[in-house]
Amino acid sequence: MPSNVELFLRALGRHFRADQLLVNKQALSLYSFDASPYFGQPAAVFFPESTQEVANFLSMAAKFKVETLPRGAGTNLSGGTVPKRGQVIICLSRMRHILAIDWEREYAVVEPGVTNLELQRAVEAKGYMFAPDPGSMNVATIGGHVAENAGGMRCVKYGVTRDHILGLELVTAEGKIFRLGKLALLDGKYAINSRVNTANLVDLIVGSEGTLGVVTQVMVKLLKKPAAYKTLLCSFNDLRQAGDAVSGVIKAGIVPAAMEIIDQKLTRAIDDFVGLGLPRDTQALLLIELDGWEADLSVQMEHLMQILHANGVTRVDLATDSKEREQIWLARRSVNGALGRIKPYYMVQDVTVPRHKVATMIQKVEEIGKKYGVTIGLLAHAGDGNLHPHLLYSDRERELPQIEAAAEEIFQATVKLEGTLSGEHGIGIEKRPYLNLVFRPAELEFLQAVKDAFDPCRLLNLDKAI
Amino acid sequence: MLNKEQIYHELSRCNKCGTCQVICPTYKATFHEGNVARGRLFLVRKYLEQGDQVLLQAKEVIQSLDQCLLCESCTKVCPSGVRTAEVVLYYRQQLLAAQTAKSKWKEKLYRLAFLNKAFIPFAGKMAYYYKNIGILPDPYQFRTFLSKYIDGQVLKNNPGTGIVLRATGRRKYKISFFVGCAINTFYHRAALASINLLRRWADVTLLDNYCCGAPFLSLGDVDSFKEVAGRNLDLFNREKTDFIVTDCSTCASVLKQYPARLGVSAPVLAQLKDLVEILLLEQEELPRVKDSGGQKFTFHYPCHLVRGQNLKEPTQRLLSNLFGSYYRPHLEDDSCCGGAGTYSILHRQLAQKITAAKLANIQNSGATQVVSSCPACLMQLDAVVKRLSLPLEVKPLAVFLQKALEESK
Ligand SMILES: Cc1cc2nc3c(=O)[nH]c(=O)nc-3n(C[C@H](O)[C@H](O)[C@H](O)COP(=O)(O)OP(=O)(O)OC[C@H]3O[C@@H](n4cnc5c(N)ncnc54)[C@H](O)[C@@H]3O)c2cc1C
Ligand code: SF4
Ligand code: SF4
């Protein structure tokens, strides 16, 4: 007797074009991974081209009781798109249209497969931007941003993806289509629904990692780009001094767009890639960007320099033109990728602590690295307390136990400092075993009830965040 | 050629970040992981780690690696600098070695064609006659190009090899001109224009050269590549000129790679220059062109000019200096056009999609002419321009430049 999956695939074959469906074993292995260290072979991959196709697909999957999971660009770092249970993947990379841009009301409506870069390119000529800017912004999809509630360098000042989503279209695991939040259609055109003022379901979906439904349209806020920038690279002899400088800046009431700490190992690796002539001998690099009106910026700069000097800065380089600024940001965005230059594998963590505890947490991470003999490259969105220790290794079998032990201890240290496990990379497969460190049993049960409400048959992206 | 350990070193640096999706032309035409560096590396890695022969037989795997343009764009954006094109070449080499004699038709055809100087012009002529008596099958490339370009060959219609064409201006150099197969066959007028440009400063002699070997390389036929490269090197070593120049960026880039690929030292290659390099050297001697027929133009930077020879910025400066605001860069103007040698014929549909995307960027720049320095790019761009009936003119650099210089006299 053919299995449910086989029957389902046959039905799909009748419904959709051959090039929308991937079933060959070798080709499927290409979808067995994302940017995390996990693997799992999918049963098939389906490429929808419209909301209706997503809905048809999901209602058929529900009929045959076949498990599925959504995928965007596959750049998440926590295994969110890895089909550990042999699911069928819905890959949204071909739903890539920008459906509407309203310059008056400053929003855009996009399909989930549009990348952050494509959106920026569509709006920048008119002086606008979409504020979230994760390191992966050149390729990561807006659907993936929504599902992971992606943050970025600018989120100190501008907030995370959640703060920029006005509305969504969602297809549930049973194939029902809902419009949530302010996304509305008026006479066949997109419009802001200003009447909604009830429970905000959008916020529930943002960050749910593809466990509650498949996002098929996203209404995003557009912001005016700042008139001027000041981008500084500050060198310190000690990571903790950099951490203290960050607290100092925040205490002084200055709100930079970004404050990023990069340690020496990573500085060298990215300099090898970008060839920018970064200060390779510095122990810690603090990248600060101020943005706003030129006049305000000079005043802020004065205060900022005082704070930096008070915390023992050894050198400050200021980007002189927009090209230099872009290079600096390219360098920063290249960190994850450039790690391959140090060791081939890494596990990156995403722990977040209250901002004034960044320096303490850095110290903890360094100690843990020493204790387990693990090379740790440290990167931090220090401005919002989000640390990315990169635990590097060469030999999967031999070193993984130490890596995992070190990782667990970092999690525990975070919780002790009243922090949380994931700032922006999501729970996925990676952090699921640690959920009970941050949630009480009753809270976990409640999350399960939410899952049941959206996905009563339990078919969508199981064993992940929720 | 990289060996197994070196390939493994490349593979192990890929940490699956996905950044290569932003630039890989085959990905942007299909949005499929099998068509991006990350996926291709994964498949080759699987092959190396599992030593599984299935990976040399499965259609999907072969297709994924066959459809790589070898454009090296991914390496430029890859934070770990993984050289995917080398990895793909390695796989193709293994694939060719594992194939049975019967399925090696491509290798045989290439050997017949590119080791034999008379073959390509001959094939071109045949195709042309076929077309005239109306039984040439569909390949649209042949239909559009041959009718237009097979009007003679550099080597046949000129004094021939070995004869010195005197400088027309003050003679500074002696130059040997390397005639690429595609230039010889399809862009004979471009070669003549290049030679005329060079004669402003140099005595020019036509070389009786062999194919540069690019087709063998992309097929994974290392032996034939080495054979043809060896023949060319012997020839170069006998030349007593200041420079060996070619106006095909692909030839120039592949010729420059000889030492690295053959593992030999070849000091003579220091004299090897892309036409663009000579133009850069003599920039001051070129009059400022007031306008290019009043028309805006853009330049498509071939892979082999940008990544093969690192000549994008200088070329950009040259064009801006000469043409000012008539030169209009387009978005991603150094991304592969989809031509990639025989790729446009072997993977026609995919190639056309890639080219169409490129042409959309070109049109957005406001240019009405596209200029480039590689015949494969020119052919592919021209073919798709015609196919889509776009209001664009596609021109070889030398032809474009010569005309502009004449007009501004
Ligand atoms: C080099 C690098 C740097 C990074 N930097 C950052 C950073 O600075 N900040 C940050 O927050 N993250 C960062 N990330 C993580 C990741 O890129 C982001 O989370 C990104 O938003 C994921 O987008 P994606 O399209 O790749 O999603 P995918 O990886 O394909 O999917 C991610 C999750 O979203 C779900 N999903 C995808 N599309 C949909 C949809 N349409 N509907 C419902 N669920 C969906 C999937 O099931 C999965 O659980 C980085 C990753 C890399 C490799
Ligand atoms: S950009 Fe480089 S490291 Fe990242 S996935 Fe592509 S090849 Fe691998
Ligand atoms: S060489 Fe070009 S086609 Fe091949 S993987 Fe890299 S970017 Fe893609």
Closest by CA position to A47, among listed B26, B58, B357, B30: B30
Summarised one tens digit per residue, pLDDT across range B314-348 is 999 998 888 888 899 999 999 899 887 667 667 87
Output the pLDDT for position A140: 97
Per-residue pLDDT averaged across A74-101, rounded? 96
Domain B4-102: give its CATH architecture: Orthogonal Bundle (1.10)
Residue B152 confidence (pLDDT) above 50: no
Q: CB under 8 Å to B104, separation ≥6 — which residues?
A: B96
In this model, does residue A135 exceed pLDDT 70?
A: yes
pLDDT at B134 (0 to 100) = 34
Res A198: pLDDT: 63
Q: What is the CA radius of gyration of chain B?
A: 21
Spatial separation of the C-alpha atoms in residues A324 and B279, rounded to whole Å: 29
The residue among A23 and B408 whose pLDDT is bigger is A23
Q: At residue B250, does pLDDT exceed 80?
A: yes
pLDDT of residue A58: 98
| B88 Cα nearest atom in ligand 3 | 4
Q: Which residue has the tokens 């042999």?
A: A86
pTM: 0.87
Band (pLDDT 50/70/90 cuts) for residue B360 is very high
Whether residue B80 and residue A346 make contact (CB cut-off 8 A), yes or no, is no
Q: Identify the pLDDT of residue B113.
A: 62
pLDDT confidence band for B133 (50 / 70 / 90): very low
Determine the residue of chain B that is closest to A273 in CA distance.
B79
Residue A129's pLDDT band, with cuts at 50, 70 and 90, is: very high
Q: Is the CB of A433 under 6 A from ligand 2?
A: no
CA A38 / ligand 2 centre spacing (Å): 16
- Give the pLDDT score at B112: 61
Mean pLDDT, range B229-244, rounded to an integer: 87
Residue B11 pLDDT > 70: yes
> What are the DSSP E strand ranges found in B266-345?
272-274, 297-300
Q: Which range (A203-212, B132-141, B286-295) has the least confidence?
A: B132-141
Residues A164-168: what's their mean pLDDT?
A: 95
Of residues A256 and B119, more confidently modeled: A256
What average pLDDT does the segment A133-148 reach?
Answer: 95
For the cut 60, the answer to whether the pLDDT of residue A290 exceeds it is yes
What pLDDT sits at residue B108? Answer: 66
Q: By the 8 A CB rule, do A225 and A291 touch?
A: no
Region A12-36: mean pLDDT is 94
CATH 3.30.465.10 in chain A is located at: 98-224
Cβ–Cβ < 8 Å for A179, A224: no
Look at residues B283, B198, B281, B299 and name the one whose alpha carbon lies nearest to residue B246.
Answer: B198
Average pLDDT over residues B257-261: 90
Which 8-state DSSP code applies to residue B249?
A: H
Q: CB under 8 Å to A293, separation ≥6 — which residues?
A: A226, A227, A228
- Residue B190: φ, ψ to 5°: -65, -40
Q: Select the CATH number that applies to the domain covering A98-224 from these four: 2.30.130.10, 3.30.465.10, 2.70.150.10, 3.10.20.740.
A: 3.30.465.10
**pLDDT classification of B15: cutoffs 50, 70, 90:** confident
User: Regarding the domain delimited by B287-407, which CATH topology (the fold level of the hierarchy) does it fall under?
Assistant: Rossmann fold (3.40.50)
Mutation target to probe the A interface, by most A beta carbons within 10 A, among B28, B46, B80 is B80
Ligand nearest to the CA of A136: 1
Question: Which of A45-54, B204-213, B283-292 is least confident?
Answer: B283-292
User: Does A207 contact ligand 1 (Cβ within 6 A)?
Assistant: no
Residues of chain B with CATH 1.10.1060.10: 4-102
Q: CA of B16, closest CA in chain A: separation in Å?
A: 5
In which band, very low, low, confident or very high, does the pLDDT at B49 lie, cut at 50, 70 and 90? confident
- What integer pLDDT is reported at residue B129 of this predicted model? 39
Q: B101-115, B117-131, B195-209: which has the highest mean pLDDT?
A: B195-209
Q: How far is A327 from chain B (nearest CA, A)?
A: 13
List the residue whose alpha carbon is closest to atom 8 of ligand 2: B14
Q: What is the mean pLDDT of residues A429-433?
A: 84
Query: How many Å separate Cα A125 from the centre of its chain?
Result: 25
B15–A29: do the CB atoms touch at under 8 Å? no
Which residues of B are less than 8 Å from A117 in CB distance? 22
- Position B132 scores a pLDDT of 40
CATH of A228-416, one of 3.50.50.60, 3.10.20.30, 3.30.910.20, 3.40.462.40: 3.40.462.40
ipTM: 0.90
Coil, strand, or helix at residue B176? strand
State the average pLDDT for chain A: 91
**Cβ distance B40 to B84 under 8 Å?**
yes
Q: What is the pLDDT of residue A9?
A: 95
Closest CA to B253 of B70, B90, B117, B82: B70
A147: confidence class by pLDDT, cuts 50, 70, 90: very high
Secondary-structure class of domain A4-91 per CATH: alpha beta
Every domain of chain B with CATH number 3.40.50 lies at 287-407
| Subunit contact B19:A31, Cβ cutoff 8 A | no
